[in-house]
Amino acid sequence: MLSRKARCNCHGQDTSYFLGWQEYEKNPYDHVLNPSGIIQMGLAENQLSFDIIESWLARNQEATGFHKNGKSMFRELALFQDYRGLPAFKNQAQPSANEILMFCLAEPGEAFLIPTPYYPGFDRDLKWRTGVEIIPIHCSSSNGFRITKFALEQAYEQAQQLNLTVKGVLVTNPSNPLGTTMTRAEFNHLINFAIAKQIHIVSDEIYSGTVFDSPSFISITQAVLEKNLKNTEFWNQFHIVYSLSKDLGLPGFRVGLIYSNNEKILSAATKMSSFGLVSSQTQYLLSNLLGDKKFAKNYIRVNKERIRERKEMLVKGLLGVGIKCLESNSGLFCWVDMRRLLRAYTFEAEKELWEKLLFEVGVNVSPGYSCHCAEPGWFRICFGNMSKEALNVAMERVKKFVGSTESAHGHDHTQSIPRSRIRQFSKWIFQLSPYGREEER
C-alpha cells in the first residue's frame, strides 16, 4: 500500500500547463533541424541577457574557477558547510523557498487566499507537500483583474463556508500571468484586509527586476511603511519571497529567498532550508556576481530594455491579427485575450482552442483555466525564452490560424463575465478533495 501522498492526484503534473511542456519536449521547434516543431511559449524563462552574464564570467576567472586572491577555494567549498549559508552569500541573499513559508505559516488543511489568475505551479509548490489549501480570489477583466475589497471578502467567505481557517493571502507582484504591478489602492485593500482578519501576507516579488515601464514597482515593504505600520503587530505579518530565476534568468541554480521581520519565521525557515540547500559552489559564484555592483546596475538596465522590446514584438504581432493583450509593464509574458476565437463562452471551448494551438498551430501557450481564471478565453503567452526569429515564426503561424478560424465562425465573447457566473465557473475549476484540493482542468 502506498501513502496518501503517493496516491494523491493533486500535484498538477497532469494539467494542461505541464502537458503542453511534455508535447513540446517530444517535438521541439528548431529553425534548421525541426522547422515544423512546437514553439515553446508556455515557459517564463529569461534568456534575453545571458550574453551579459557570460561576459562577466569570462572576465572573472577567479570566481568561475573557485579561486580567491590567487588561491584555490575548492577544498573549502567542497567540505561541509553550515546550512545557514556562506557568510559572503548571505550578505547578498538569504537562501530559502516559497514552500517553506507555507510550512511556517499554516497547518495542513488551513488555507491561503490567492488572486486569480495565478501561476499554475502554485498548486504544486504551495500545497502538494504542505497540505495547505488554496482559495481563489476571483478577479475580473472588467477592471484589469485588479484586487478589490469585494473579491477579498468573497474569498474569505468561501473559505468559511468550507470550514477552512484562513492564515494569509499570497500575491505575486509583479503578477504572473498578468505582467502588471500592484497599485497603492490594491495594497490598501490587501493590508487593511489582512489587519482586520489578523492574517499574514506573502508577497512573491520574483519578477520585480523586470518592470520596464510605468507605473513603477512598489514592494509591499514600501506600502507598509507608507501606512506607518512599522511599530505595529503587522510588521511581523508580511513576508517577501524572491528568487534569481526570472530577473537574472538562473532557474537552474535553484536559489530562493525569504525576507521577513518575523524572527521566529526566519529561524524555522533556516532550519527547514537544510532539506534543500544551495550548493556552496553556487553560493560562492553568485556572491561574487551579485557583489559586482557595476555589473548588476548595467544588467538590470539592459535586461529591462530587452524585455520591453520583445514584449512589444509580441503585442504588435498579435494586434496585427486583432488579438489584444492586457496592458502590462513587467514580466516575461503577456495575458492575451482570445475570447473572440472561442466557439462558445465555456472552458470546454477554451480547452479546445488550446489543443488546436498546440497540435495544429504548433505553439504551446498556457490556457487561462490552468491559471484558475474565472473567465474563459484568456491565455498566458511567454516571449523571453526564444529568439526573435522563433517569435516571428510563431506570429506567422497564429496569423494563419486566426484567419482560418474567423472564416469558420465569427463569435465575439469579449464581454466581461458577471459576478454570478464567476461563482458558477469557480465551481467548475475548484473542488474540495479528501486531501488538498484537486482542480478540474
Q: What is the pLDDT tens value at each position of the chain, 441 positions in all?
A: 788 777 777 666 777 788 898 999 999 999 999 999 999 999 999 999 999 999 998 898 877 777 777 777 666 655 555 555 555 544 434 337 789 999 999 999 999 999 999 999 999 889 988 999 999 999 999 999 999 999 999 999 999 999 999 999 999 999 999 999 999 999 999 999 999 999 999 999 999 999 999 999 999 999 999 999 999 999 999 999 998 889 888 888 788 889 999 999 999 988 888 777 787 888 888 888 989 999 999 999 999 999 999 999 999 999 999 999 999 999 999 999 999 999 999 999 999 999 999 999 999 999 999 999 999 999 999 999 999 999 999 999 999 999 887 666 555 555 555 555 445 444 444 433 332 333 332
Burial level of 39, CB count in 10 A (0-12/13-18/19+)? buried
Q: Give the model's pLDDT for residue 284.
A: 82
For 4-51+303-405, which CATH superfamily applies?
Aspartate Aminotransferase, domain 1 (3.90.1150.10)
Q: Give the model's pLDDT for residue 418.
A: 52
**Rg, the chain, Cα only:** 22
Q: Give the model's pLDDT for residue 63.
A: 78
Determine phi and psi for 204, rounding to 5 degrees.
Answer: -85, 105
Residue 21: all three cell numbers together: 511542456
User: Domain spanning 95-275 has what CATH number?
Assistant: 3.40.640.10
Of 204, 304, 323, 381, catalytic: 204
Q: Give the model's pLDDT for residue 95.
A: 38
Question: Are the beta carbons of 224 and 191 closer than 8 angstroms?
Answer: yes
Close Cβ partners of 324 (under 8 Å, ≥ 6 residues apart)? 318, 336, 337
Question: Are the beta carbons of 166 and 181 closer than 8 angstroms?
Answer: no
Of 127, 167, 246, 311, catalytic: 246
Paired strand residues for 168:
112, 200
Residue-wise DSSP of 137-160: EE--GGGTS---HHHHHHHHHHHH
Q: How many residues does the chain have?
A: 441
Of 17, 24, 118, 119, catalytic: 119
Distances (CA, A) of 352 to 174, 257, 342, 403, 430: 29, 38, 8, 17, 20
Question: Are the beta carbons of 329 and 212 closer than 8 angstroms?
Answer: yes
Tell me the domain boundaries of the chain. 4-51+303-405, 95-275
Assess whether 14 carries a catalytic annotation.
no
Assess whether 417 carries a catalytic annotation.
no
Assess whether 51 carries a catalytic annotation.
no
- Strand 333-337 and strand 378-382: the pairing is antiparallel
Q: Give the model's pLDDT for residue 312.
A: 98
Q: Give the model's pLDDT for residue 8.
A: 73
Of 134, 191, 206, 422, catalytic: 206
Q: Give the model's pLDDT for residue 279.
A: 79
Assess whether 119 carries a catalytic annotation.
yes
Task: Using a cut of 0.75, tell me whether the model's pTM lies above it.
Answer: yes
